Amino acid sequence: MSAIIHGAGAATALTTFNSKKLVAPCRTNLPARSKRCIVVAGSDDASKSFGSSSVLSVRRPQKLIANAVATKTDTSATTGHELLLFEALQEGLEEEMDRDPHVCVMGEDVGHYGGSYKVTKGLADKFGDLRVLDTPICENAFTGMGIGAAMTGLRPVIEGMNMGFLLLAFNQISNNCGMLHYTSGGQFTIPVVIRGPGGVGRQLGAEHSQRLESYFQSIPGIQMVACSTPYNAKGLMKAAIRSENPVILFEHVLLYNLKEKIPDDDYICNLEEAEMVRPGEHITILTYSRMRYHVMQAAKTLVNKGYDPEVIDIRSLKPFDLYTIGNSVKKTHRVLIVEECMRTGGIGASLTAAINENFHDYLDAPVMCLSSQDVPTPYAGTLEEWTVVQPAQIVTAVEQLCQ
């Protein structure tokens, strides 16, 4: 069975949902991966659709399924604890700081204030003012300082209070973070994690609603991941800290209060893998971060209309998990990308190119990409709503693609 995810409208309120049942902790080692951190395949005929005909027959359900995307009650998760996404991030960070004394945090208001989104709450009391460093407002310099510290043995987690502020650190992220391992001939590693909230919030205005993943994606030498659930937030945070590569972890302002039950034991999420949210037959919907919830809301409507979408949260924005994505494309032959990035030069644009390049033969229709409008995010609520992709648009797009 696949997961139920309530719509993004619930993001402002506490939302409880059950994530996919965890099969096993994600494997992180080379060489071949045979088992990945994916949902237990639920649909009975999931395996039978290779080489299906190009004419899509819409399955007519026997009855209206009210909660078609629901999972059955998760009886095995008696161990585990429920928390909010920002608490999951904090837990991951704290566990890694306990585990390795070289892990430290630096950013504005991360210490005494506890972080503007409370991700670092309590950490300064526990670890001290040097390990959880309150920096002055100088993104370029403190990002560079984190990089210098990483080169000399520490593992800093650099917080941008809002991802948009990291534009001021672009020099350091592009030139030093991404490049120094290469230009030094492999002598210096830069195991930093650069994280912060981004994305369109609730009428925060243009500058606080930026999506920086599109700007950073071309920088060679960095990895980018986006978390979307408490489970993968904690897992990705831990994986990013443990990685020897510089990793940029994109969080979303509206997702911090999502609630989920996560395992008690130590786990990480593979940085390079995508997450299967809902297996399906008819169409592959690729998404990440907050749009995952818009997609799942649309999925409810779509299922009631008789469609069976496969939803994948790509999670790894750079590099793309072409295996998971490819397998899905080979099964459904139709791709819809739903993202919050701008249309021009966004993650969706790169993903479209990658899919066309690698899986062209498997496509029955052109790859469709729904992105935010190429406008500075307006303040007015109505205008803001129209800049971002809404579930109704997703439903329309799926119907269009599946004709």
Partner 1 sequence: MATAFSATLPLHGSSQEIVLASPPDCLLLLLSSDPPVLSPFADSTRSISSISCRCPGNCQGEETHQSLLITKEEGLVLYEDMILGRSFEDMCAQMYYRGKMFGFVHLYNGQEAVSTGFIKLLTKSDSVVSTYRDHVHALSKGVSARAVMSELFGKVTGCCRGQGGSMHMFSKEHNMLGGFAFIGEGIPVATGAAFTSKYKREVLKQDCDDVTVAFFGDGTCNNGQFYECLNMAALYKLPIIFVVENNLWAIGMSHLRSTSDPEIWKKGPAFGMPGVHVDGMDVLKVREVAKEAVTRARRGEGPTLVECETYRFRGHSLADPDELRDAAEKAKYAARDPITALKKYLIENKLANEGELKTIEKKIDDLVEEAVEFADASPQPGRSQLLENVFADPKGFGIGPDGRYRCEDPKFTEGTAQV
Catalytic residues, by residue number, are: 139, 208
* Segment near partner 1 (CB under 8 A); pick from 11-19, 82-90, 99-107, 197-205: 99-107
Which residue bears the tokens 């509206």?
A: 254
Site for partner 1 in 317-336 (CB under 8 A): 318-324, 326
CB 164 → partner 1: shortest distance, Å?
18
When binding is defined by CB under 8 A, the residue of 191, 197, 230, 391 that contacts partner 1 is 191
Compute the half-sphere exposure of residue 262: CA atoms within 13 Å on the CB side of its CA. 25
In the complex with partner 1, the residue whose CB is nearer, 94 or 321, is 321
Inter-residue contact 191 to 245 (CB < 8 Å):
yes
**What are phi and psi for residue 157, nearest 5 degrees?**
-110, 110
**Strands ordered across the beta sheet of 81-84:** 15-17, 258-262, 81-84
3-state SS assignment for residue 128: coil
* Segment near partner 1 (CB under 8 A); pick from 48-56, 159-167, 174-182, 248-256: 174-182
Residue 183 touching partner 1 (CB under 8 A): yes
Inter-residue contact 370 to 338 (CB < 8 Å):
yes
CB 61 → partner 1: shortest distance, Å?
33
Distance between CA 42 and CA 26 in Å, rounded?
A: 19
When binding is defined by CB under 8 A, the residue of 54, 185, 265, 382 that contacts partner 1 is 185
Residue 50 touching partner 1 (CB under 8 A): no
Residue 301 touching partner 1 (CB under 8 A): no
When binding is defined by CB under 8 A, the residue of 245, 257, 301, 393 that contacts partner 1 is 245
CB 87 → partner 1: shortest distance, Å?
25
Q: What angle do CA 31, 35, 37 make, to 5 degrees?
A: 115
Q: Binding string, 2-41, against partner 1, x = CB under 8 A? A: ----------------------------xxxx--------
Q: List, in sequence order, the alpha helices (H) in 160-260.
A: 170-171, 180-183, 213-216, 230-242
CB 257 → partner 1: shortest distance, Å?
31
In the complex with partner 1, the residue whose CB is nearer, 86 or 165, is 165
When binding is defined by CB under 8 A, the residue of 153, 265, 361, 380 that contacts partner 1 is 153
Q: Of 329, 277, 283, whose CA–CA distance to 58 is shortest?
A: 283
Q: Which two tokens stand for residue 288?
A: 């990440």
In the complex with partner 1, the residue whose CB is nearer, 155 or 234, is 155
Distance between CA 349 and CA 126 in Å, rounded?
A: 43
Distance between CA 154 and CA 214 in Å, rounded?
A: 28
Between the alpha carbon of residue 307 and those of residues 50, 70, 366, the distances in Å are 17, 15, 19
Q: Of 264, 214, 241, whose CA–CA distance to 22 is shortest?
A: 264
Share of the chain residues as helix, strand and coil, in percent rounded to the nearest 5: 35, 20, 50
C-alpha 89 chain-centroid distance? 13
Total residues at interface with partner 1 (CB under 8 A): 65
When binding is defined by CB under 8 A, the residue of 94, 273, 310, 384 that contacts partner 1 is 273
Neighbours of 142 (CB within 10 A): 22
When binding is defined by CB under 8 A, the residue of 25, 42, 221, 378 that contacts partner 1 is 221
Site for partner 1 in 127-146 (CB under 8 A): 128, 130-131, 133, 135-136, 138, 140-146
Site for partner 1 in 60-79 (CB under 8 A): none
Residue 214 touching partner 1 (CB under 8 A): no
When binding is defined by CB under 8 A, the residue of 93, 123, 163, 190 that contacts partner 1 is 190
Residue 175 touching partner 1 (CB under 8 A): yes
Residue 353 touching partner 1 (CB under 8 A): no
In the complex with partner 1, the residue whose CB is nearer, 145 or 365, is 145
C-alpha 322 chain-centroid distance? 16
Name the site residues for partner 1 (rule: CB under 8 A). Answer: 30-33, 101-102, 104, 128, 130-131, 133, 135-136, 138, 140-154, 171-172, 175-176, 180-191, 220-221, 223, 243-245, 271-273, 316, 318-324, 326, 358-359
